[in-house]
Structure 1
Amino acid sequence: MASAPGPTVTPYAGFDKDADTVALRKAMKGLGTDEKAIIDVLAARSNAQRQQLILQFKTAYGRDLISDLKSELSGHFEDAILALMSPPELYDAKCLKKAMKGLGTDESAIIEVLCTRNNKQIHMIRDRYKKEFKHDLEKDLKDETSGNFKRILIGISQGGRDEGPADASRAAADAQTLYKAGEGKLGTDESEFQRILVAKSAAHLRLVFDEYEKVSKKSIEKAIKSEMSGDLENAYLTIVGFFRNPVEFYADLLQKAMVGVGTDEDRLIRIIVSRSEWDLELIKSAYMHKYKRTLVDAVKSEVSGDFRKLLIALIK
């Protein structure tokens, strides 16, 4: 969605997989662990390069790099390193599994992952989920959620969103439909919201949002807030926010992860790792513009130790 220059992590120009694997082995061999050496290598390589390191490590030493990292690291630092080492679709699949595991469901994590991925990414996540967990993603979503919220997640998990250009005449009609399904009547016809917001293309929806304001004299966000609540509201606001302006959307999510009592470390890891090769550079600028402090300073004030050093290395 974002235009270059977007990433903070790009393929390392002087990539030498043999030298990197030697450095990683040395960092974990014997007593103690050289966390700085691990950060220096892994935070400065692209995901594709890290996948090469996993293969090279096993070839050179007959050892599993992921297992070695797990046994040497702990806490949120370990979580962030393991996130970096997973191919993106595997990491997303793991985030979804974690959100549905055990007692209770982390609906906001499910929404954040599924509502912001394109069709190709969703198909890859579904395949990886099946392969990794021997479970069907759609079935797990059905088991963990209910009502209209369940229907929206099942809809999104099909990876069937239209990807065509905007249609100006259709956009005006869709805006009218949304108005009549929500503010323009008693009660809300959620099925019409899903038919448009889950199935139509990003370009088309941006036009629908503009048309909606002409019809209603208020934003689509305000309409959703007045018509819906809970997870369903959150899901629709995520779709609207992400498609309207993905960079500002993630800047706001990062702020939300750090504001108030406690820090949502899982969300920090999810966003910083998954956007580092896409648009984190742009997210940093949007964050600075909106919150009047650098993302680095914000992260520094919330987390500590090697976890802090790793996140800052990825942001920079």
Structure 2
Amino acid sequence: MYTFMTVEGQKEINYLLWKIKNTMVFKKADLKKELKSELGGHFEDTILAMMTPLPDYYAKELHDAISGVGTKEEVLVEILCTLSNYGVKTVAECYSKQYGSSLEKDIKGDTSGHFKRLCVSLSLGNREENPNVDEAAAKTDAEALYNAGELKWGTDESEFNRILVNKSYQHLRRVILEYEKLSGKDLEESIKSEFSGDICMGLLYLVKCIRSKIDFFAERLHKSMAGMGTDDKTLIRIIVSRSEIDLGDIKLAFERLYGKSLESWINGDTSGDYKKLLLKLIG
């Protein structure tokens, strides 16, 4: 296995990053083969993630989440609820090319109940994208959510799915405010009292994304490093996938929410060249 010398470690990392960004000089397949033969562990995982086009990378992460023993439900929701319609459809197309099966079909085969319905709906990428907000319509949807949960004996899950999965994020932010006026508590509280299990988690993640995608990713990063052990797969996925999008904003949100910098958490929770590379990516 390839091991960096202490003095030269940063130079080697910089060189690998240069090679990845200049794949015209190297055939991508040859470069991947070369790296896999030289590297190992989470450092290798991070480098290979950086080399993979984002739609293909997300497709692989979704496949890993639903293949094998058990399902990584949190990963499914994290990816599907943070992508645009175009992003979802592009990833679904890549998924089909890579694995010879549709994303929708595989989700249906590996999930169940109301959670399956939520994930399948998210995987279709049919959310409204009109940026304009109709206040009257927002009030109507807030009332529909209230009537489907707080005022109903039992819960009408289909109403939550219909509104939260299909309406635009701009519209839903207004719906959340109207819901709080109507019920006297926030939507997350109501979801926790009305739902349980995977569907509760899925709806909570969705509402957190609606409120602030930046804060949602900061929370996911914190969770990946809090407690015993590290969820390196989540840590790598978020840092690599957001590194050229909004990672700077996520860093600021992380420090605002948890009182310590993302760098300090990574310093304390990872080691070696893997740590150096993550710190390089987050700047």
SS in 1 for 2:166: coil
Aligned to 1:90: 56
Between the aligned partners of 1:224 and 1:36, the Cα distance in structure 2 is 47
Pick from 90, 93, 114 the counterpart of residue 124 of structure 1: 90
**Structure 1 stretches of 5 or more lacking a match?**
1-27
Between the aligned partners of 1:238 and 1:290, the Cα distance in structure 2 is 17
Tell me the amino acid that sits aligned with residue 83 of structure 2: R
Pick from 27, 30, 34 the counterpart of residue 64 of structure 1: 30
Aligned to 1:103: 69
What are the within-5 Å matches in structure 2 for residues 133-212 of structure 1? 133-164=99-130, 165-212=132-179
The CA deviation at 1:101 is: 1.8
Pick from 210, 214, 233 the counterpart of residue 266 of structure 1: 233
The CA deviation at 1:32 is: 6.1
Task: Mark the CA change 1:55 to 1:44 in structure 2 (over 3 Å): closer, same or farther.
Answer: closer
The CA deviation at 1:264 is: 0.7
CA deviations 1:7-45 (Å, max 9, x no partner) are: xxxxxxxxxxxxxxxxxxxxx9xx866764452145579
Q: Does 1:254 align with 2:228?
A: no
Between the aligned partners of 2:42 and 2:187, the Cα distance in structure 1 is 37
* RMSD of aligned Cα (Å): 1.9
Task: Mark the CA change 1:78 to 1:170 in structure 2 (over 3 Å): closer, same or farther.
Answer: same
Corresponding residue pairs, total: 279
Between the aligned partners of 1:114 and 1:189, the Cα distance in structure 2 is 23
CA deviations 1:164-223 (Å, max 9, x no partner) are: 122211000000000000111111000000000000001000000000001100001111
Task: Mark the CA change 1:262 to 1:269 in structure 2 (over 3 Å): closer, same or farther.
Answer: same
Between the aligned partners of 1:215 and 1:41, the Cα distance in structure 2 is 57
Pick from 242, 246, 251 the counterpart of residue 284 of structure 1: 251
The CA deviation at 1:281 is: 0.7
Tell me the amino acid that sits aligned with residue 70 of structure 1: K
Give TM-score scaled by structure 2 length: 0.94
Between the aligned partners of 2:3 and 2:262, the Cα distance in structure 1 is 31
CA contact (8 A) 1:58 1:64 kept: yes
What are the within-5 Å matches in structure 2 for residues 302-313 of structure 1? 302-313=269-280
Between the aligned partners of 1:136 and 1:197, the Cα distance in structure 2 is 24
Between the aligned partners of 1:195 and 1:39, the Cα distance in structure 2 is 47
SS in 2 for 1:135: coil
Tell me the amino acid that sits aligned with residue 156 of structure 2: D
The CA deviation at 1:251 is: 1.2
Between the aligned partners of 2:261 and 2:35, the Cα distance in structure 1 is 30
CA deviations 1:261-281 (Å, max 9, x no partner) are: 111111101111111111111
CA contact (8 A) 1:44 1:314 kept: no
